[in-house]
Structure 1
Amino acid sequence: MTSKVYGEERRQQILQLLKTSPVPQTGSGLAKKMNVSRQVIVQDISLLKAKSEPIIATSQGYIYMQSQTPAKNAERLIACLHSPEQTAEEMRVIVDHGAAIKDVSVEHPVYGDLTASIMVHNRKEVAEFIEKITSSQSFYLSQLTEGVHMHTIAADSESVLDDVCQALNDKGFLIKDE
């Protein structure tokens, strides 16, 4: 778009773009299309979420959660512990065994549970996630809790999740019941 799009019209266009896009849309990309700042897009997304639009922010960008999206049949919350340098390896173990990483969460002493959507399904997305953390000079949520964190992982079957947990355990990443 060459001219600035205003208010509700812009939010409706953003919503339409998200609903029809097969890939996540970045805030910067949406800002360019609407000829506004990324901060305006962040505010628009917040307003759309406040109207109960099922938009989530992932490490790849914004996505609209389509109800017809085929869901994985099994989910599991796993507790992990490792150094920041081992994050890519942990994520690759999960996706290489056929599971998706939906989110990461930590228990913060002041804020309580903090959860961030990740939505990583393959090695390419793992690499992109790690690159975004590195290039933005951000840190992993697990660094707030000395490496302790949880992931919601999803797969087509419980046996795939069992395989992921065994592989993570073999690497020493899984926190086990003692």
Structure 2
Amino acid sequence: MTSTEKVLGDRRRELLVSTLKKASAPISGRQLGEMMNVSRQVIVGDVTLLKATGEPIMATNRGYIYMHPQSEPKRIEKIIVCSHTAEQTEEELNILVDHGITVKDVKIEHQVYGDLTASVMVSNRREVQNFIQNIQETNASLLLELTEGIHLHTIIADTEQEIENAEQALREAGILIE
């Protein structure tokens, strides 16, 4: 493919899947569009079509990732309930990742739309910092702002002990609701 050649339809979607499968980090829609010489919006449409066919592609705040079948031991998932101000978001996320936790998502119950879920996918302080910076640069609202601070997180850990330690730290910070 030359740098000015547009990749079309089915071939582009095959290339998207192949690229995402090989990637070790999320790839933004803009980057994928540049690779294929199409707009980001075309990539968004392609990803939607691929998801509809069962491809396990996840959109995160850092880009798209291909969810490979787990060949490693199953990690533990748990949903926790938290409440804090928008200004405490970085503190909350840092507490979790410092205890070996991956924060998969954030959920709220909206009075009009029902359950709303957004991907977070952070597992270290650098990713937390990038997430917070992205929120600030785009002037995006946090979901907790719609519910006076109350929200849920799906968290992932290797052990129950990591979850217990993280919950204790959140408790001490006045963030965990039980």
Normalising by structure 1, we get a TM-score of 0.95
- Give the partner amino acid of 1:19: K
Deviation at 1:71, TM superposition (A): 5.5
Deviation at 1:44, TM superposition (A): 0.6
Q: Give CA-to-partner distance per residue, 1:79-107, whole Å, 9 cap, x none.
A: 00011111001000000011110111000
Task: Please tell me whether residue 122 in structure 1 is matched to residue 133 in structure 2.
Answer: no
| Secondary structure at 1:80 match in 2 | strand
Could you tell me how far apart the structure 1 residues matched to 2:96 and 2:149 are? 17
1:31-70 aligned at under 5 Å gives the runs: 31-68=33-70, 70=72
1:15-164 aligned at under 5 Å gives the runs: 15-68=17-70, 70=72, 73-164=75-166
Does the 8 Å CA contact 1:72/1:154 hold for their aligned counterparts? no
Q: Give CA-to-partner distance per residue, 1:147-174, whole Å, 9 cap, x none.
A: 1100011111111100000000100111
Task: Please tell me whether residue 165 in structure 1 is matched to residue 152 in structure 2.
Answer: no
- Give the partner amino acid of 2:132: I
| Secondary structure at 2:35 match in 1 | helix
Q: Which runs of 5+ in 2 are unaligned?
A: none
Could you tell me how far apart the structure 2 residues matched to 1:94 and 1:32 are? 35
Could you tell me how far apart the structure 2 residues matched to 1:11 and 1:99 are? 33
Deviation at 1:70, TM superposition (A): 3.1
- Give the partner amino acid of 1:175: I
Q: Which runs of 5+ in 1 are unaligned?
A: none
Give the RMSD, CA atoms, in angstroms.
1.1
Normalising by structure 2, we get a TM-score of 0.95
Q: Percent identity?
A: 51
Q: Give CA-to-partner distance per residue, 1:4-51, whole Å, 9 cap, x none.
A: 111111111111100111111111110111111111111110000000
Does the 8 Å CA contact 1:102/1:152 hold for their aligned counterparts? yes
Does the 8 Å CA contact 1:72/1:155 hold for their aligned counterparts? no
Could you tell me how far apart the structure 2 residues matched to 1:125 and 1:149 are? 20
Could you tell me how far apart the structure 2 residues matched to 1:60 and 1:71 are? 25
